């Protein structure tokens, strides 16, 4: 990553509390970097994404995107796309319209935009699905529609909160490969990705770095190969089931 380019996402001593659970995050994700977030249930992975997206407001600290302070900017105004495990689509709209929302919030599309939407559906393997509503598609197909919309928006940051977790292992692998391919195909610079996953094997082929969260903090962060090998921090290798926790 070019050292002079500002981080795609920077959490600067960001503090937050959910009832009794306290969170403190400090993180910089480089432009075009792919970061995977792993860690036990309740560690704060979704909270980190929700703070970044603006669904939660920090009690202290700053959030910057490409150098701009977005701490008080509404979620829709932040330069990012986010995908959840489900409910990414509007159930009453067909695939074409769900994708169209990415570039035409009022669903009035020009001829050129129509062409772009059709190309986006085709890029995710959904040619011929334009008129289908979410209820008429499989879980994997619905997530392909959501991916098509995310890439059409061309935001420099994509937040993924386990969007493929409900899919089987082979399909999950295919969806991640599709995501990686879409990122490269785009003629704009690759978007940075922050991806929550419970499956370290999903992170291994794609992530540049892995952050391990525990008890509301990033307890360890490093290159994916090191973090996932079990050679680094003992908490990470314990979480991965590679080594017993040392006293
Ligand atoms: N709206 C909320 N109100 C109160 N506590 C919450 C709320 N949302 C999350 N929490 C608590 O905050 C902690 C962190 O939750 P978070 O969803 O960020 O964890 P996670 O690492 O994403 O977990 P998982 O892997 O199970 O999805 C948990 O203890 C959770 O119970």
User: pTM, whole model, 2 decimals?
Assistant: 0.92
In a domain, 93, yes or no: no
How confident is residue 188, by pLDDT bands cut at 50, 70 and 90?
Answer: confident
Token readout for 152 is 């059409």
| Position 152 in a domain | no
Ligand 1: atom nearest CA of 162 is: 27
Residue that has been written with the tokens 């419970």 in this structure: 198
CA 114 to ligand 1 centroid distance, Å:
39
Residue 12 pLDDT exceeds 50: yes
Confidence of residue 230 (pLDDT cuts 50, 70, 90): confident
Residue with CA closest to ligand 1 atom 30: 42
Question: 220 C-alpha vs ligand 1 centroid, how far in Å?
Answer: 19
The answer, yes or no, to whether any atom of ligand 1 lies below 6 A from the CB of 45, is yes
112 CA distance to ligand 1 centroid (A)? Answer: 42
Ligand 1 in reach of 216 Cβ (< 6 A) = no
Nearest ligand 1 atom to alpha carbon 216: 14
Asked whether residue 108 is domain-assigned, the answer is no
What are the two backbone dihedrals, phi and then psi, of residue 42, each rounded to the nearest 5 degrees? 85, 0
Range among 2-6, 84-88, 196-200, 227-231 rated most confident: 196-200
Q: Which domain holds residue 198?
A: 1-79+191-247
Q: What tens digit of pLDDT does each residue of 127-156 get?
A: 999 999 999 999 999 999 999 999 998 899
In a domain, residue 48? The reply is yes
Q: Is residue 109 part of a domain?
A: no
Q: What is the pLDDT of residue 247?
A: 46
Joined together, the tokens standing for residue 120 give 């986006």
Residue 84 Cα to ligand 1 middle (Å): 15
Percent of the chain with pLDDT over 70: 96
Q: Name the closest-CA residue to atom 5, ligand 1.
A: 18
Instruction: Pick the atom of ligand 1 nearest to 47's CA.
Output: 18
Q: What is the CATH number of the domain that holds 45?
A: 3.40.50.300
Q: What is the pLDDT of residues 40-63, one digit of tens each?
A: 999 999 999 999 999 999 999 999
How much distance in Å is there from the Cα of 47 to the middle of ligand 1?
Answer: 6
Helices (H), the chain: 45-53, 95-100, 111-123, 139-153, 169-185, 200-203, 224-229, 234-239
Q: Which residues contact 212 (CB under 8 A, 6 or more apart)?
A: 38, 39, 218, 219, 220, 221, 227, 233, 235, 236, 239
Determine, yes or no, domain membership for 139.
Answer: no
Q: Say how many domains are in the chain.
A: 1
- The β-bridge partners of 35 are 194, 209
Residue 144 falls inside a structural domain: no
Residue with tokens 């001593």: 13
Tell me whether residue 89 is in a domain.
no
């Amino acid at each position: 990553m070019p050292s002079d380019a500002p981080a795609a996402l920077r959490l600067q001593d960001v503090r937050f509390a959910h009832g009794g659970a306290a969170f403190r995050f400090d993180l910089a994700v480089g432009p075009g970097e792919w970061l995977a977030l792993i860690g036990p249930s309740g560690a704060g992975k979704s909270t980190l994404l929700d703070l970044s997206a603006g669904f939660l407001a920090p009690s202290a600290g700053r959030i910057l995107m490409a150098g701009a302070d977005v701490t008080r900017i509404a979620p829709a105004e932040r330069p990012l796309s986010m995908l959840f495990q489900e409910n990414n689509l509007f159930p009453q709209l067909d695939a074409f319209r769900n994708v169209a929302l990415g570039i035409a919030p009022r669903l009035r599309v020009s001829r050129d935009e129509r062409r772009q939407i059709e190309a986006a559906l085709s890029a995710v393997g959904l040619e011929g699905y334009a008129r289908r509503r979410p209820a008429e598609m499989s879980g994997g197909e619905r997530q392909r529609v959501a991916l098509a919309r995310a890439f059409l928006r061309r935001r420099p940051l994509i937040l993924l909160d386990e969007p493929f977790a409900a899919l089987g292992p082979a399909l999950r692998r295919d969806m991640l490969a599709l995501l990686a391919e879409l990122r490269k195909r785009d003629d704009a610079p690759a978007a940075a990705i922050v991806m929550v996953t419970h499956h370290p094997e999903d992170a291994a082929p794609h992530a540049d770095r892995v952050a391990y969260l525990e008890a509301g903090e990033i307890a360890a962060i490093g290159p994916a190969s090191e973090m996932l090998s079990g050679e680094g921090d003992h908490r990470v290798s314990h979480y991965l089931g590679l080594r017993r926790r040392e006293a």
